Amino acid sequence: MEKKITLHDKTFKLYIPNEDIEKAIDEIASKMNRDFSDSTDSHHPIMLCTLNGAVLYAAELLKRLTFPVEFKAMKLSSYEGTQSTGKVKAELPAGIGDLNGKTVIVVEDIVDTGNTIVAMKQLLEEMGVERIVVCTLLLKPEVYKKDVKLDYVAMSIPNRFIVGFGLDYNELGRNIKDIYVLDQ
């Protein structure tokens, strides 16, 4: 029997089990550990988690990183219900600090249209960030048509609406350890 959940008025079926997610995170962390092996306490990247969706991914990734890294978070949103609004709202936290001349690793839960990544890149450039590295758990390649390079992509998926592992449907479903797809 297929595993299903209901959130609000929609039913979702199991799409990516947690074991597959964890394995993909292991692979990304291994690549990042190799690429950032020359980081030091005085010269280290800043991991910038996009709230709320990327929290679980960022936490799991952070546990696996072996190089010095600073952690910060920032609220970005572009979804209402199951659709992207096309407009990105950014809320900078008071404690984000001076990012001028720094390397920032942007941690995203999912990249689909790319509007959030483009807005984030522009904002970080305005703040004087020297190097922007993009790390996403999920990518929808058939809808991502932006020029911003995605440095680390854990998994590519079709353009379907999903929930779980940080992703939500109207704020529900973030706490589910697996990823579910809308059951149409």
Q: What is the pLDDT of residue 78?
A: 58
Quick: pLDDT tens for 144-167: 999 999 999 999 999 999 999 999
Domain boundaries, the chain: 18-156
CATH of 18-156, one of 3.40.50.2020, 3.90.1580.10, 1.10.275.10, 3.30.70.360: 3.40.50.2020
* 20 pLDDT above the threshold of 80: yes
Question: What mean pLDDT do residues 44-72 have?
Answer: 95
Q: What is the pLDDT of residue 97?
A: 77
Name which residue leads in pLDDT, 77 or 148: 148
Count how many residues are written for the chain: 184
Active-site residue identified among 38, 41, 112, 168: 112
112 classed as catalytic: yes
* 172 pLDDT above the threshold of 70: yes
- Write down the pTM of the prediction: 0.90
